[in-house]
Amino acid sequence: MSITQPDLTRIKTFVLDVDGVLTDGLLYSFADGEQVRSFNIKDGFAIKHAINQGYRIAIISGKNESGVRNRLEQLGIEDIFLGIEDKVDTFEDYLYMQSVHPGTVAYMGDDMPDFEVMQRCGVRACPADAADDIKEIATFISTKDGGRGAVRELIEKTMKAQDTW
């Protein structure tokens, strides 16, 4: 699928899903109930770099696990919304509370829980292995799969477009 790349020069905030975006979507479940995910170090570098350059990073995810929260906090992310059933309400509340215009937001999601909120953003991004319905509405499709550098690619391209990388 070939799409025209969106204008990344207006983006000031990145809102990200976790499973299938920051992770590869695989979930390792152990007998003691612990569930483990794998995060990409290059995505982490880009997130930290963006924060250091003054960009906002927010996470909105349906799952709520302490290991995920710990990783996100280690990266310096302060706006973390886990265990969210209605991503649209959380997204709109976040924009209001932070005085963020939706046209300055790049949202990266990979599956149907992200569909409605993606339509409210300036850039609708997804990993290469996102669900087809998400790819159909995306304005930025990474060449990388979720958990394999898709977030890094979005952030790096945005920051390079703004000469902040």
Contacts of 107 (CB under 8 A, 6+ apart): 14, 15, 16, 91, 114, 117, 118, 120, 121, 123, 124, 125
Model pLDDT for residues 64-77, shown as the tens digit of each residue:
988 899 999 999 99
Q: So what's the pLDDT on residue 55?
A: 98
Please report, to the nearest 10 degrees, the dihedral formed by the alpha carbons of residues 72, 134, 53, 93 taken in order. Answer: -70
In sequence order, what are the beta bridge partners of 140?
125
Q: pLDDT grade, residue 3 (50/70/90)?
A: low
Model pLDDT for residues 91-138, shown as the tens digit of each residue:
999 999 999 999 999 999 999 999 999 999 999 999 999 999 999 999
| CATH fold for the domain made of 13-161 | Rossmann fold (3.40.50)
Contacts of 154 (CB under 8 A, 6+ apart): 14, 106, 108, 123, 125, 140, 142
User: What does pLDDT average to over the chain?
Assistant: 95
Q: pLDDT grade, residue 37 (50/70/90)?
A: confident
Going 73 to 43 to 14 to 138, the CA torsion angle's sign is negative
Q: So what's the pLDDT on residue 4?
A: 65
Q: So what's the pLDDT on residue 26?
A: 85
